[in-house]
Amino acid sequence: MPSRRKTTMFASAFFTCICSFVIICVVLATQHWMSSKVRFSGTNSSITVSLTYGLFSGTCEQFVDVGLQVSERTFQVADNLSNTKAKSMIVAIIVILVLSLLSSLLSSGFTCTNAVSNPYQTFLGPTGVYTWNSLCGIFILIAMILFPVNIEENGLSVELAYGCFSFLQTHIKSEHTYGYSYWIMLLIIFLNITSIIIIYFYDHARYSKKKEQERPIENAPKDVILF
């Protein structure tokens, strides 16, 4: 059975890993990644399309300068995209987040295993926790970089606006606001770093204790050496 200190440390890391797993599920499930106001020129007036969307679905509304408002519509992100690059990047972000979800799940399993037992394999110990938490954090960071790139380089919001209202004319300008579904990914990275730090402190303390128990023979009393 593991020591009380080990159980406490790994149980704490398990809690942070589970929180990370839950938040990744929230990130994938919610549609508050981006809120955009996309402005287009019309025949007699300008038109503004308001969009709120995530990786899978979103809503859109149309406002005309004269005060006319079209009722809110729900759309599927993949169905509204005609730009292959934008669609491919959305798929890539989803795949990366699924990989981070699996990494977080494996990290949770490793920390739980260490909290209740002493695995013989080295990789099932702290090394495995370091690996899966690091991978999860890297995947999340990549997703956070790719999404803004898709917005700015591939005109994701503009493409979705055209998909909602096909009669729109020339795009004038866009305003973007990142929602909580995007920003809480920073919390996931923080949780992964926290898990690594917790296990590092345990591993360092264990290593120091082991070194103390393996003192060189020259530090032993002289009568013991003579014996």
- Give the integer Cα–Cα distance in Å for 21 and 28: 11
Residue 41: in which H helix or E strand, if any?
strand 34-41
Write down the CATH number for the domain with range 4-215.
Answer: 1.20.140.150
pLDDT tens, residue by residue, 67-80:
666 668 899 998 88
| Alpha helices (H) in 117-184, listed in sequence order | 126-153, 156-164, 180-183
**CB atoms near residue 69 (< 10 Å):** 11
C-beta pairs of 166-175 under 8 Å, 24+ apart in sequence: 168/40, 168/47, 168/49, 169/40, 169/41, 169/42, 169/43, 170/40, 170/41, 171/38, 171/39, 171/40, 172/39, 172/40, 172/41, 172/46, 173/38, 173/39, 174/36, 174/37, 174/38, 174/39, 175/36, 175/37
HSE-up of residue 32 (Cα within 13 Å, Cβ side): 8
Residue 214 pLDDT > 70, yes or no?
A: no
Which pLDDT score is estimated for 63? Answer: 82
48-64 average pLDDT score: 90
Nearest to 199 by CA among 138, 128, 141: 128
- Give the integer Cα–Cα distance in Å for 104 and 81: 30
> Which of 109-118, 120-129, 173-182 is predicted most confidently?
173-182
Which pLDDT score is estimated for 226? Answer: 45
Which pLDDT score is estimated for 81? Answer: 87
Confidence (pTM): 0.85
**CB atoms near residue 225 (< 10 Å):** 9
User: Is the C-alpha dihedral spanning 145, 83, 158, 99 positive or negative?
Assistant: negative
**CB atoms near residue 101 (< 10 Å):** 18
**CB atoms near residue 226 (< 10 Å):** 6
Burial 81-91 (b: 16+ CB within 10 A, else e): bebeebbebbe
